[in-house]
Structure 1
Amino acid sequence: MAAQPSAPSPAPARGNPRLPLLALAAAAFGIGTTEFVIMGLLPQLAGDLHVTIPQAGLLVTGYALSVTFGSPFLAVATAHMDRRRALLALMGVFILGNLMCALAPSYWLLMGARVLTALCHGAFFGLGAVVASALVLPGRKAQAMAMMFAGLTLANVLGVPAGTALGEAMGWRSPFFVVVAIGIAAALALAAFLPRTIAVPPMNLKREARSLGSPQVLFAMAISIVASASLFSVFTYIAPILQTVTGLSTHGVTLMLLLFGIGLTCGNFLGGWLADWRLMPSVIGIIAVIIPLLASFALSSHTVVPAALTLFVWGVLAFALVAPLQMRVVSEAAKAPNLASTLNQGAFNFGNAMGAWAGGVALTAGLPYADLPFMGAGIATAGLGLAIASYALERFRAKWIPVRVKKMRHNNTLERLP
């Protein structure tokens, strides 16, 4: 069978990419808000639905597992659709799911609504990242992805604190109604500003599936899983940590979430710049700093100011990993950008699920809230090992494979001599 030709690199769309990127960021803002706002509402939601806080934390796990295992199927279902139409269809699923969350009368119906909402998450961010990179010139692709993911970080700056405050004032259901309105506005912006013809070819499933076995693609997805697990083993339970360990009121928790969100936003743009500069060394350096920082949070969480400083820096570092890892997957799976990008979003969320689950298991087993950061630091250490191994393999191949090819060509030349 003849080899399939490589997918050509799409040319950037004509015109100013700023408005399409802002439309993608607006959609990311809505998706990020609905994903993260529930963490600030866990104590209230658990009381209203008569479940424990670790059980309420499983709503985070259920959402993340739906992204992990459901999004690839949704990406396949939209494989032959026009990219603009596919993004709009995914936003339709998002709007419906959030409306069901707002109306859910019980814990298990809320879980089902969260699972439905999450289906669009990975597929939207996966496809959106590829579309964002297709809108700009080479050398700015990671920064374009970072601009789209800025909506996700702004969700933590504005959406999550505002949603937490709104939930405290008007009940935990009210933020989901607001997210429905955000989703409708974002869908209208996408319809208005995305180019009618986007220079991203529809997904070729056979070609893309064959391209996903690259060791570097697998390494990047594994790092995404572990980095997210490190973050969510602690962040899922940040509200009870701040209330029981730091001694903050619900208003104080809202301010802390705002500060963490500002850190995420700064880290997002920092990560985009670092990815376009030196990708893997940046990933290694970021994770190497996260490990002692998380370990120190076990101590700094007992006092307000040190806790606030640690949360801000943690937010910067945690989200500085997102654009580099997403860019790593897209660049290493050049023949499979659509599916690989979606699967990496699944990898991030599988890590979210595993982190939230591991934190819940530890708490149920009797681990104090104050000691959860030690778990996060231990998980991050595994991510550092994976990142170092990936970079070592890259350097080995860059050094020795060209030499081997050169020797083979030289030997072939000698064989042809009379």
Structure 2
Amino acid sequence: MSLLKKQRTATTAASPNVVAWAILSLAIGGFGIGTTEFAMMGLLPNVAEGVGVNEPTAGHVISAYALGVVVGAPLLVAIGAKMPRKALALALMGLFTVGNLLSVFAQDYPTLLVTRFIAGLPHGAFFGVAAVLAASLVAPSKRGRAISMVMMGLSVANVLGVPLATFVGQQFGWRWLFVFVCIIGVVTIVCVSIFVPAQKAHPEAGLRRELSALRRGQVWLTLLVGVVGFGGFFAVYTYVASTMTDVAGFAASFLPLIVGLYGVGMVAGSYVGGRMADWSVMGSIYAMMGFIAVVLVIYAATVHIQWMALLMIFVIGASGSMLVPSLQTRLLDVSPGAPTLASSLNHSALNMANALGAFVGGLVITWGWGFTAPALVGAALAVLGLGIALLSGLLDKIGGRRAAQEGAR
């Protein structure tokens, strides 16, 4: 049975109320993942003091988490290939909760590095499985919206979860961040157990079937769009604090509001991006890659004007989030026999984009080009991502014409 037919079958069995509660349950998991990933940045000085290292060294615990995301997505999906997807989602959230619980009790820097790596392992795999589960509960024409609602948990975390966890960590100790996230993890496990409908594993499910996705050129091209195109988004976000204070002239005390505005943009972008994906997956990718490039150029040119800086921070947050549902849906389309692995690898790609954006942004700042330079480099990356997307679309058309010609013979 094809993925599309399975989705239609699931849609028949699932009422709108069931779908809403199931997607909310999965989004709560995304909320917890987003909170633990981003709140660490605000608590880094506290963590450094707590484990007896300087801040640059403490920053490696963030890198350890990101490395866990990159490694864990393909590894854990491969290990759980034969499991029903609901059971796999529960197992992944269980590992996520355990990893954060171990971080609570980490007494030294090396131990914290290991526990953050463990906590990062299920990140991409959970989002991948959650996206496939959400898409299977709705009609094919609504997949983008379903996926965007799951991803909304990650966006909302930047508005609510990260500020709250940062406040708790600053007031009561950084370990309470992980306690807070553990509680969210337990809530997610309970909600997924109750509200997400059980689905039998595909009779042909297995490691070989999932790995078949890696033989598809379109899967790699889509992942490359995410790595390159999304790199510009992170090139700006990584250095937003210095840009807002040194270029726009905001006081440091104003930064929480700016970061919150960025998060609100991400929430709005997730909502709009899901509907754009349902309109046209490839059309949305083309449009958003071009839009991101234009937005970053405008940001670089106008960030010294405070009201424009605030407006563009919101728009940049929205533009990046608009792209994610289309990339996720595209991966489902180009890997019909192995959607879980391909969908999970999207989050490995986005974490690689994070590393790429931070690296090239830091490079041009080091060269003395100023804090607006990362946005211009980001715009160039977005244009390159658009080029890769156009190549992917062209190959689709060529393949379609060949199939039509063979069918006519």
The alpha carbon displacement at 1:24 in A equals 0.3
Instruction: State the partner residue of 2:351.
Output: 349
Report deviation, 1:378: 2.4
TM score, norm. by length of structure 1:
0.87
| Residue 9 of structure 1, aligned match among 5, 21, 41 | 5
Distance 1:305 1:376 in 2: 22
Indicate whether 1:288 and 2:290 are aligned: yes
Distance 1:207 1:88, change over 3 A: closer
**What percentage of aligned pairs have identical amino acids?**
37
CA contact (8 A) 1:164 1:254 kept: no
Say if 2:54 is the partner of 1:51.
Answer: yes
Query: Closer, same or farther in 2 for the Cα pair 1:211/1:93, shift >3 Å?
Result: closer
* Residue aligning to 1:413: none
Change in Cα spacing, 1:256 to 1:387, as seen in structure 2 (3 Å) is same
Residue 405 of structure 1 is matched in structure 2 by 406
Distance in 1, matches of 2:63 and 2:366, equals 15
Matching residue's letter, 2:141: G
| Matches of 2:160 and 2:279, distance apart in 1 | 29
1:89 CA displacement: 1.4
User: Aligned runs of 1:333-412 on 2, under 5 Å?
Assistant: 333-362=335-364, 368-398=370-400, 400-405=401-406, 409=409
Q: Counterpart of 1:181 in structure 2: which amino acid?
A: I
Partner of 2:243: 241
Partner of 1:412 in structure 2? Answer: none
In structure 1, which of residues 187, 193, 196 is the aligned counterpart of residue 195 of structure 2?
A: 193
Equivalent residues in 2 for 1:4-403, closer than 5 Å: 9-10=5-6, 11-12=9-10, 13-15=13-15, 16-42=18-44, 45=47, 50-53=53-56, 55-195=57-197, 197-198=198-199, 201=202, 203-362=205-364, 368-398=370-400, 400-403=401-404
Separation in 2, partners of 1:344, 1:267: 18
Q: Aligned to 1:81, what secondary structure does the other structure show?
A: coil
CA deviation map 1:381-412 (0-9, x unaligned): 221111121122223333x32552255x1xxx
Q: Give the structure with higher Rg (CA).
A: 1
Q: Is the 8 A contact 1:40 1:254 kept in 2?
A: no
Letter in 1 for 2:396: E
- Paired letter, 1:256: I
Shift of 1:37: 1.9
SS in 1 for 2:336: coil
Aligned residues of 1:102 and 1:174 also touching (Cα < 8 A)? yes
Cα deviation for residue 323 of structure 1 reads: 0.5
Write out per-residue CA displacement over residues 287-308 of structure 1, whole angstroms, 9 at most, x where no aligned residue. 1121132233334433432221
Contact 2:132 2:340 in 1 (8 A): yes
Distance 1:57 1:361, change over 3 A: farther
Report the secondary structure of 1:302's partner residue: coil
- Output the amino acid matched with 1:207: R
User: What code does the residue aligned with 1:375 have?
Assistant: V
* Aligned residue type for 1:51: N
Distance apart, 1:114 and its partner CA? 1.9
- The Cα shift of 1:362 comes to 5.0
Report the alpha carbon displacement of residue 107 of structure 1 after superposing the two structures with TM: 4.2
Change over 3 Å in CA distance of 1:322–1:362 after alignment to 2? same
The alignment covers a number of residue pairs equal to 401
Contact 2:295 2:316 in 1 (8 A): yes
Deviation per CA, 1:132-179: give whole Å up to 9, x if none: 111112211121111111111111121123333444444544333222
CA contact (8 A) 2:360 2:374 kept: no
How far is 1:246 from its partner? 3.6
Deviates more, 1:335-344 or 1:238-247: 238-247
Distance in 1 separating the partners of 2:172 and 2:305: 30
CA distance in 2, matches of 1:119, 1:112: 11
Write the distance in 2 (CA, Å) between the matches of 1:382 and 1:95. 38
Supply the RMSD in Å over aligned alpha carbons.
2.6
Closer, same or farther in 2 for the Cα pair 1:215/1:152, shift >3 Å?
Answer: same
Native 8 Å contact 2:42 2:166 kept in 1:
yes
Check the 8 A contact 2:148/2:273 in 1, yes or no.
yes
Q: Counterparts of 2:34 and 2:107 in 1: how far apart (Å)?
A: 23
For the residues of structure 1 that align with 2:359 and 2:100, how far apart are their CA atoms? Answer: 23
Q: Which runs of 5+ in 2 are unaligned?
A: none
Letter in 2 for 1:328: R
